[in-house]
Structure 1
Amino acid sequence: MTNDDTLPTTAAPGHGLWPYQPITVAQGPAWPDGRRLAVYVAVGLEEYRFGVGRTEDVVPDVAAPDLVNTSWRDYGNRVGAFRLLERLDRAGIPPTVLLNTAVYDTAPDLVAAARRLGAEFVGHGISNSDSLTGMSSAREAAYLAAVAARIEAEEGTAPGGWSSPWLSQTTSTLDNLVAAGYRYLLDLRIDDRPVTIPTSAGSITAMPYALEVNDSTTIIGRGASANEFADMIVDEFDELLERSEDQPLVMSVVVHSFISGAPFRLRALDRALQHMTGQRDRVWFTQPRAIAAHLVGGGAA
């Protein structure tokens, strides 16, 4: 047998980014009022630079100048987001907004509407044409700090949470997030429970974040229908609610103004929201900041 054919005698090393702990090891405090499952709904309020950087498109391969996909995305901040927020308010679910801070300048009425509904504003970059990929550590640190500073200036409180545009990271992102004052991250589906990640600057909590119960990756990325997406939400919810009898869990749903805010998709999403809120006595409909505060408080209601 040649060296190339030799079987390894030790296991491959892990990535070392966060500690391994199986779901069979119970952890974490119970949610308030004895509820078993915490659910938050994240709404992406995004802004794109015209003709520059990355975009999310519903019609592929439109030649520049792309007015078609630009109009589709703008519909989200003109119409779809208002209707999404109204639906969440009607369902009694406080919104978690993944905010590009450029929206403060391009759609101030939309941010004001979210603010009136008690939204939590999570840092989501300046523009969604941006990506952290390829940034130097110093540039990334300045970028993260600029987003936090703008939200603090507008809202009076710095954001506790961060969600990367395009779910992008660098090797310095976790360290830079902690250094910039962010306490929790909405990017990763490591577990059905919050996971503490150590960094050189301190620790940050990874909130369970839906990579598939997410209208961008599933409807636009994979071509799922609105009803298929609603069925995914319902099935995720029913399974996690059943599993939460063993230990408290967290579920997220991620939607975007220009995707689920479209009228035909909104109807399907509303069906899923009504299904979930029908179990309100067992479910804590909340926001990441409340989950983080509850964990720090050791379970005090």
Structure 2
Amino acid sequence: MTTPDPAGHGRYAYSALPDRPVYDWPEGKRLAVYVALNLETFDFSSGLGAELAPGGPQPDVLNYAWRDWGNRVGAWRVRDMLDGLGVPASILVNSRLYRDCPGLIEAFRTRGDEIVGHGRTNAERQGTLSEAEERALIAEATGILTREEGRAPAGWLGPWISQSRTTPDLLAEVGYRYLLDWCHDDQPTWFATRGGGRILALPYPQELNDIPAIVARKDTGRQFAEAIVDGFDEMLEQSAQAPLVMGIALHPYIVGQPHRLRPLRQALAHIAARREAVWITTAGAIAEHAAARMPA
């Protein structure tokens, strides 16, 4: 782990994409595509939460109910869409969902989807906590997922893409093999951790992510779907030169809405139709394959 200047992080050195070793994904493919479906729970009358419209005083019923619709209705519609297309997913799970929405995570488990750690709830950020408090949060969420799924999750995404200076260290120290959060590259990157360790950072999208696109930029569902198609077509061409990772980040309270689900289905069908040329898989499978082929 390099010693950063006050403005740096010390996790990885600069590396230009054209200068890196070239390797393949399975079957000689060069573009790996994964869908990250965020399943999240929120606190009523307190805490953080995405907003459909500017929230009023707590309890903010409008926005809370909109988000809750995603777990009650939208997630099930997204599941059916993925089933119809034969597309796997990495399910980013708030651990309190097992309590708040019984049967929801189990429905994706039966599909064989990957279950990824995503904190306790999206009503909080972990990056603002002390190291002891953050360690306890990671331990609590990991313990619940391990108990419910019968094995520990390999990957982690912080609620609200929130990391402290020590988050990669804490994750590596309890056995996580990869983290999401960072959108700094189109390939996996080794992060140095304290004590001479390391953890793999897998690219997580902030452009092809429905919260920045639809909630922040106010794109329509059709515009978001068009961006997915354009991004896929361009990355497929670019992957002739180097192995690339394309992630698509979804939240069911946003894209589960019927007027957004229809164009999303069309965009994912466009990708699924090229499955002979691309590796449609999970974040964990990408991380495992890359770790075996990437120099330290």
Shorter-chain TM band = over 0.9
Contact 1:196–1:204 (Cα < 8 Å) also in 2: yes
Query: Pick from 48, 69, 89: which aligns with 2:42?
Result: 48
Contact 2:116 2:157 in 1 (8 A): yes
Per-residue CA deviations over 1:146-195 (Å, capped at 9, x if unaligned) read: 11111110001101100010111111111111112111111111211101
Q: Map 1:112-123 onto structure 2 (within 5 A).
A: 112-123=106-117
The answer as to whether partners of 1:85 and 1:95 remain within 8 angstroms in 2 is no
Indicate if the aligned counterparts of 2:67 and 2:253 stay in contact, CA closer than 8 A. yes
Q: Residue 270 in 1 paired to residue 265 in 2?
A: yes
**CA deviation vs aligned residue, 1:217-269 (integer Å, no higher than 9, x gap):** 11011111111111111111111100101121110000001000111100011
1:95–1:117 Cα contact (<8 Å) kept = no
CA–CA separation in structure 2 for the residues paired with 1:136 and 1:14: 20
Matched letter for residue 219 of structure 1: I
Distance 1:129 1:42 in 2: 19
Deviation at 1:130, TM superposition (A): 1.1
Q: In the aligned structure 1, how far is the partner of 2:138 from the partner of 2:182? A: 18
TM-score, normalised by the number of residues in structure 1: 0.92
Residue pair 2:45, 2:58 contacting (<8 A) in 1 also: yes
Q: Distance in 1 between matches of 2:19 and 2:9?
A: 21
Query: How big is the shift at 1:19?
Result: 1.3
CA distance 1:15–1:137, change in 2 (3 Å): closer
From 68, 93, 101, the counterpart of 1:107: 101
Is contact 2:10-2:192 (8 Å) kept? Answer: no
Q: Is the 8 A contact 1:192 1:250 kept in 2?
A: yes
Aligned pairs (5 A) from 1:71-150: 71-150=65-144
Residue deviations 1:14-59, cap 9 Å, x none? 5433111101023353111111210000001000011121111102
Change (3 A) 1:212 1:103: same
Distance 1:15 1:101, change over 3 A: closer
- Whichever residue aligns with residue 272 of structure 2, its letter is T
Q: Distance in 2 between matches of 1:139 and 1:63?
A: 28
* Structure-2 separation of matches of 1:296 and 1:67: 45
CA contact (8 A) 1:101 1:151 kept: yes
TM-score, normalised by the number of residues in structure 2: 0.93
Q: Which residue of 2 aligns with 1:170?
A: 164
Match for 1:280: what amino acid? R
Q: CA deviation at 1:289?
A: 1.4
Specify every segment of 5 or more residues in structure 2 that has no aligned partner in the other structure, as ranges.
Answer: 1-5
Query: Could you tell me how far apart the structure 2 residues matched to 1:227 and 1:87 are?
Result: 16
What is the alpha-carbon root mean square deviation over aligned residues?
1.6
- List 4+ stretches of structure 1 deviating above 4 A: 12-15
Is the contact made by 1:141 and 1:180 (CA closer than 8 Å) also made in structure 2? no
**Contact 1:42–1:97 at 8 Å: present in 2 too?**
yes
Q: Deviation per CA, 1:266-294, whole angstroms, max 9, x where unpaired?
A: 00111110111121111101011111221
Alignment of structure 1 residues 1-301 onto 2, 5 Å: 15-27=9-21, 29-201=23-195, 202-298=197-293
Rounded to whole Å, the distance in 2 between the matches of 1:121 and 1:107 is 15
Are the structure 2 counterparts of residues 161 and 216 from structure 1 closer, same or farther at C-alpha, using a change threshold of 3 Å?
same
How far has the Cα of 1:13 moved from its partner?
7.6
Q: Distance in 2 between matches of 1:112 and 1:14?
A: 41
